[in-house]
Amino acid sequence: MQGKIFALAAAAMFAAWHAAADEIRLEDTEFANIKTGWGEVRARKSIDGNALKVGGVEYPNGLGVHAMSSYRVPVGGNALSFSAKVGVDDEVGGKGSVVFRVLADGYVVAEVAAKGGDAAKEIKADLAGAKFATLEVTDGGDGNYYDHADWCDAVFVFKPGTKPRPLAELTRQLGILTPPEAKEPRINAPARYGARPGRPILFKLPVTGEEPIAVDIGRAALPRTLAFDPSTRILSGSLDKEGEYEFVFTAKNRHGTAKKRFTLVIGEKLCLTPPMGYNSWNAFAGGVSDEKMRLAADKMIELGLDKHGYAFCNIDDFWQRNPENGKSDPTLAGPERHEDGSIWVNSRFPDMKGLADYIHSKGLKAGLYSSPGPYTCGGCTGSWLHELQDAKSYAAWGYDYLKYDWCSYGAVATGDGRDRHTRPYFLMGRYLRMQPRDIVFSLCQYGNENVPVWGGEAGGSCWRTTGDIFDTWPSVLGGIRAQAAHWMYSRPGAWNDADMLVLGRTVWSNGRLTPNECYTHMSMWCMFASPLMIGCDLSLMDDFTLSLLTNDEVLAIDQDELGAAAALVLEDAARDTQIWARPLADGSMAFALLNADAEEQVVAIPFARLGMRGKWAVRDLWRQKDEGVFADAYAVSVPGHATHLVKLSPREGAALKPCLKDIRDNAWRVPFDADRAKAAGVAADGCGGCR
Ligand code: GLA
């Protein structure tokens, strides 16, 4: 049994590798659980994200970490050796000193000390018989500043014929689960929409079904300043008076009629459900242009994404000029600001207002990106010392969304502690609020200074909680685990942002996530009530990716009007499974059953253990299929790295006790009462009552 566990664990760790006999490169192992003292570990990159370079030599393969780092690899008694060239990356300019160690079942079998500027040194370890190999980097005795440590050309050698099987062979992969779109009309989320008094409203009702569909707003007399066009399904105009305005939309075709209650809430809050749309970064990075944005807007309509609720079409970095890149790319060259201080756009964006108008003409909203620092993360002009001017430009051009990215702000930041981090966001939040149009404010500072606590107060409709996402399993899984600490802060108008979607063809690849991993990504982002920003090239959309993005029952979880994000309620570390729960406005609960192991296994919701009594009706949301009524537990076999998403609705005798009851009642939500939670034994990062 023990042997089997090791073999499985070893197999689970190795997602893919190059073709050579029985060797596996370090970066091809599944390094989701690698510990690093700072930064994000990425295949073939230093901890700062550069090419690996030690002593002036570049290494194409390996992993860059930061001391203190450790990585426990279950090699299952089958590995023979490990070897690498190690050293401190040149990116720290000759500083830093570290010690690299390899341990076999806890015993040090190889050790090499290195300091900044040294050439890479060889480390070789005998692993014969070891169940686990641990790769460790500690500081060289002078603290861990600048300790950017590289494992270059790092390879495990296995006994012939014992190389772990590839992930794809360990588990079945899910195909398209979303049923074909129904012919009957359906009015999709959201059910609540926020706008500020006197600001222009642009809301396109998302409706699916066979056309023609006649849509009606169901209110004989609309307020005079509001208009609904049944042919475009756009609600526009403005309302001066704060309050809730209720409508019942009707959509009718030859197959049936759908009705939906809709509330327009005029007040302070925007994004009463998480924003949905498209963002150019993961698709084009620094290669974005006016032409690509117009094409993206066209494609959003052509693919019918607007009918499922995707509303924003956002330009990320690189609409501004960029002094550094401008040296080699004339489209980015030129003075950064006009004489009056207003921002110059680069020549790929000849008409910012024209572009926003074009996006609006499709019933979509336009967004853009800046940094509170002098430069954005891509080195384009940021808003530092021009914040008000920039906010005015965005409004004058007609933009509806600003992603505001910390980037170079650290170099100019003043003040201490939290103030140093929050100040630029409060400032821009105030300036955006002063504009004559609603501009959604999206904070991007990777979760620093506990942003969920203050992001909403700064005027943010959402805030990133992690570093940048990539289309790899470690990145997605790491992003998921990170949400466990923040769920209680998400609420209507103020959302945790788990970063943009990496489904489909991105700027990095043709999609490195397996189909099962794609299901986990989309299911969990909906469970988190995260903004859903599509991050792929829409002109290369494939049927599978489209099916992931357009399942209305799954999207309805993300858009649920209660706005409570999922909490991690059960985690089985030995089996690598997680159960997340999210209360929904209609009294039901959504559950995600995540199997992070590489092999298929049964994952169960044990009702009593979670404080659930009575009977619950289960609906499989991806397949849009009822599974029956369950009394004690609901169990399902989940393929490796996949997530099964279900909705449980109360039936006979159904009731909730803590901890699910606490989650349902928002007992631990904002303001998160740490003392009360502690007294009740609830972990600050979730729901101790269940675990
Ligand atoms: C940062 C952000 C990304 C993207 C880039 C643009 O890395 O986190 O989402 O906006 O900057 O340079």
Domain boundaries, the chain: 20-167, 186-266, 276-520, 567-680
Probe residue for ligand 1, chosen from 281, 346, 368, 534 as the CB with the greatest number of ligand atoms within 8 Å: 281
- Residue 377 in contact with ligand 1 by CB distance below 6 A: yes
Q: Is the pLDDT of residue 36 over 80?
A: yes
Q: Is the pLDDT of residue 2 over 50?
A: no
Q: What is the atom index within ligand 1 of the atom nearest the CA of 377?
A: 12
Residue nearest to atom 2 of ligand 1 (CA): 468
Average pLDDT for residues 35-52, to the nearest whole number?
A: 90
> Looking at the DSSP assignment, which residues form a beta bridge with residue 444?
405
What number does CATH give the domain 276-520?
3.20.20.70
Q: What percent of the chain has pLDDT over 90?
A: 76
> Looking at the DSSP assignment, which residues form a beta bridge with residue 568?
580
Q: Is the pLDDT of residue 683 over 50?
A: no
| Closest among 303, 369, 312 to 533, alpha carbons compared | 312
- Residue 316 in contact with ligand 1 by CB distance below 6 A: yes
- Superfamily holding 567-680: Golgi alpha-mannosidase II (2.60.40.1180)
Three-class secondary structure of residue 449 per DSSP:
helix
Where residue 342 falls among pLDDT bands split at 50, 70, 90?
very high
Separation of CA 444 and ligand 1 centre (Å): 8
Catalytic residue among 316, 405, 471, 597: 405
CB atoms within 10 A of CB 258: 20
What pLDDT score was predicted for residue 186?
98
- Residue 123 in contact with ligand 1 by CB distance below 6 A: no
Separation of CA 401 and ligand 1 centre (Å): 15
pLDDT tens, residue by residue, 157-180: 998 888 766 555 678 999 999 999
What pLDDT score was predicted for residue 679?
52
Residue nearest to atom 8 of ligand 1 (CA): 468
Q: Is the pLDDT of residue 686 over 50?
A: no
Separation of CA 20 and ligand 1 centre (Å): 36
Q: Is the pLDDT of residue 11 over 70?
A: no
Where residue 598 falls among pLDDT bands split at 50, 70, 90?
confident
pLDDT tens, residue by residue, 384-407: 999 999 999 999 999 999 999 999
Catalytic residue among 400, 468, 560, 662: 468
Q: Is 415 exposed, middle or buried (0-12, 13-18, 19+ CB in 10 A)?
A: exposed
What pLDDT score was predicted for residue 659?
74
CA dist 151 and 63 (Å) reads: 5
Q: Is 221 exposed, middle or buried (0-12, 13-18, 19+ CB in 10 A)?
A: exposed
Q: Using alpha carbons, list the distances in angstroms from residue 587 to 144, 606, 649.
A: 50, 19, 7
Separation of CA 302 and ligand 1 centre (Å): 27
CA angle 621, 625, 626 (to 5 degrees): 105
Residue nearest to atom 9 of ligand 1 (CA): 468
Cβ distance 222 to 235 under 8 Å? no
Q: What is the atom index within ligand 1 of the atom nearest the CA of 468?
A: 8
CA dist 82 and 450 (Å) reads: 39
Cis before 659 (ω within 30):
yes
Among the four given CATH numbers 2.30.33.40, 1.10.260.40, 2.90.10.10, 2.60.40.10, the one describing domain 186-266: 2.60.40.10
Q: What is the atom index within ligand 1 of the atom nearest the CA of 369?
A: 10
Separation of CA 377 and ligand 1 centre (Å): 6
Query: Lowest-confidence range among 32-36, 335-339, 626-630?
Result: 32-36
Q: Is the pLDDT of residue 15 over 50?
A: no
What pLDDT score was predicted for residue 7?
41
Average pLDDT for residues 196-217, to the nearest whole number?
A: 98
Where residue 40 falls among pLDDT bands split at 50, 70, 90?
confident
- In 3-state terms the chain splits into helix, strand, coil percentages (rounded to 5) of 25, 30, 45
What pLDDT score was predicted for residue 93?
95
CB atoms within 10 A of CB 204: 21
- Residue 368 in contact with ligand 1 by CB distance below 6 A: no
| Closest among 650, 668, 665 to 612, alpha carbons compared | 650
What pLDDT score was predicted for residue 343?
98
Average pLDDT for residues 507-525, to the nearest whole number?
A: 91
Query: Lowest-confidence range among 123-127, 196-200, 451-455?
Result: 451-455
What pLDDT score was predicted for residue 318?
98
Separation of CA 660 and ligand 1 centre (Å): 36
pLDDT tens, residue by residue, 604-617: 999 998 889 999 99
CA dist 338 and 397 (Å) reads: 16
Domain 20-167 of CATH type 2.60.120.1060: yes
What pLDDT score was predicted for residue 221?
77
Average pLDDT for residues 435-451, to the nearest whole number?
A: 96
Q: What percent of the chain has pLDDT over 70?
A: 92
Q: Is the pLDDT of residue 35 over 60?
A: yes
CA angle 663, 637, 533 (to 5 degrees): 55
- Residue 378 in contact with ligand 1 by CB distance below 6 A: yes
What pLDDT score was predicted for residue 169?
67
Computed over every residue of the chain, the mean pLDDT equals 91
pLDDT tens, residue by residue, 563-595: 999 999 999 888 899 999 999 999 999 999 999
Bridge-based pairing of strands 256-266 and 192-195 is: parallel
Q: CATH topology of 186-266 equal to that of 567-680?
A: yes
What pLDDT score was predicted for residue 410?
95
Q: Could you confirm whether 405 is annotated as catalytic? A: yes
What pLDDT score was predicted for residue 8?
42
Task: Write the secondary structure of 290-302 as one string of H (helix), E (strand) and C (coil).
Answer: HHHHHHHHHHHHH
Residue nearest to atom 11 of ligand 1 (CA): 377
Q: What is the atom index within ligand 1 of the atom nearest the CA of 446?
A: 8
- Residue 317 in contact with ligand 1 by CB distance below 6 A: yes
Residue partners of 593: CB distance under 8 A and separation at least 6: 577, 579, 603, 604, 605, 636, 638, 643, 644, 645, 646
Separation of CA 442 and ligand 1 centre (Å): 12
Cβ distance 584 to 624 under 8 Å? no
Q: Is the pLDDT of residue 674 over 70?
A: no
CB atoms within 10 A of CB 407: 22
What pLDDT score was predicted for residue 690?
55
pLDDT higher at 202 or 105? 202
Average pLDDT for residues 95-110, to the nearest whole number?
A: 93
Q: What is the atom index within ligand 1 of the atom nearest the CA of 316?
A: 10
CA dist 41 and 35 (Å) reads: 9
Separation of CA 525 and ligand 1 centre (Å): 19
Residue type, 107: Y
